[in-house]
Structure 1
Amino acid sequence: MAGKPKLHYFNARGRMESIRWLLAAVGVEFEEKHMKTREDLEKLRKDGVLMFQQVPMVEIDGMKLVQTRAIFNYIANKHNLYGKDIKERALIDMYTEGIVDLNELVLIHPFLPPGEREASLTQIKDKAKNRYFPAFEKVLKSHGQDYLVGNRLSKGDILLVELLYNVEELDPSAITSFPLLQALKTRISNLPTVKKFLQPGSQRKPPVDDKCREEAKNIFH
């Protein structure tokens, strides 16, 4: 029997957080090996377990997977979060790419120099409210179903709800004009596995603070 997936990253959200969301949503318990220093990252590199010399890296089913989207897709395929056919997978991938585009801005935001954060926040709010959220609201309205694709839960739904939470931390009014996104957020949040992940004390990471910024600086710079 395969052991629990092991997640290699530093003790923060970053690109690993979406992977945590996916694993948690499908009820898979996982372990974390946190890097704390530059030496921890260099050791992984010297051990030859980082194909492209970078994290996140997930040990799962005898593999050492890198590249965030590859990890998404493996989890989605394994746990039936990837549609029923090639057309549905194409739509799920398309939506996921849009989600990741905006989430990248959100993830980078707290690590920017203080003087750059105001402009970053303005950009995030504008893109969320005027580009990405209207697009996803339109998708949900177009078919009137509970989920983005095929009326069944997919990686796109989970990652979109993670994004909604992330943006709302920066702008609490972010989805007030999008009733279908609000409904999707509620629906996903009420799934027992997700509800558990959203509780205090879970492996969900808190917003970035000064300690996290300093740790990231020590590891990656």
Structure 2
Amino acid sequence: MSGKPKLHYFNGRGRMESIRWLLAAAGVEVCLYGSLLFQQVPMVEIDGMKMVQSRAIGNYIAMKYNLYGKDLKERALIDMYVEAVIDLNELLMTHILQPADKREQHFATIVDKATNRYFPVYEKVLKDHGQDFLVGNQFSRADVQLLETLLMAEECKPDILAKFPLLQSFKARISNIPTIKKFLQPGSQRKPPLQEKDLPKVMKIFH
């Protein structure tokens, strides 16, 4: 069964955003639906399946559109890098959901973990690997998800990459890949950061 994948989620980032990024990276147009407005997980209709669980969806899309490395070893590395970046992504995504009196502490946690735990690892990976991409010599899901998280981190703190020149170069390089460049333009299906006015609706989804 062919046709555009159908995305069921609320009209915001949440756990569907990484899936939008992957589909955009693959150059795949999607249909947007909102039938799961008040449920916790995204659902994607693709190839005759109704898929839930973000990681399963991401793996399927990556495999289908050649964003999952060339062999088992590369896939293992991609999984490892994606899982780590998802942890930071979750921190960034839930920042605005924190009670007002805890946001400053949460922000400090994000900056600390990003700059002292996660970004140094990816900076070293890029240095040691010596290639344009995180894994092998081709664009993969790991590159897509890292770029998404880097941009989210910069929304949180614009100078957060100041001490990471290889990540800055990576961001510029991956952002210029045609399908990604298109996704970053105004009018794409990329969602903006959550705003205060969206919180009542979003809290129902995350809780």
* Ranges in structure 1 where 5+ consecutive residues have no aligned partner: 42-53
Partner SS, residue 201 of structure 1: coil
1:31 aligns with 2:39: no
What is the one-letter code of the residue matched to 1:208? L
What is the one-letter code of the residue matched to 1:216? V
- Using the size of structure 2 for normalisation, the TM-score is 0.95
- The answer to whether the Cα contact below 8 Å between 1:37 and 1:218 also exists between their aligned partners in 2 is no
1:180 aligns with 2:166: yes
Offset at residue 153 of structure 1 (A): 0.6
Higher Rg of the two aligned structures: 1
Sort the Cα spacing of 1:66 and 1:152 in 2 relative to 1 into closer, same or farther, 3 A. same
Give the corresponding residue for 1:2.
2
- The answer to whether the Cα contact below 8 Å between 2:68 and 2:74 also exists between their aligned partners in 1 is yes
Offset at residue 135 of structure 1 (A): 0.1
Offset at residue 210 of structure 1 (A): 2.1
CA displacement 1:110-137 (0-9 Å, x = unmatched): 1111111111100000000001000000
Offset at residue 31 of structure 1 (A): 1.2
1:120 aligns with 2:94: no
- Using the size of structure 1 for normalisation, the TM-score is 0.89
1:169 aligns with 2:140: no
Give the corresponding residue for 2:47.
61
Give the root-mean-square deviation of aligned CA atoms: 1.5
Q: Equivalents in 2 of 1:204, 1:212: separation in Å? A: 16
- The answer to whether the Cα contact below 8 Å between 1:17 and 1:205 also exists between their aligned partners in 2 is yes
Q: Equivalents in 1 of 2:187, 2:36: separation in Å? A: 20
1:209 aligns with 2:195: yes
**What percent of counterpart residues are identical?**
63
> What aligned pairs does 1:90-129 form with structure 2 within 5 A after superposition?
90-129=76-115
Matched residue pairs, number?
207
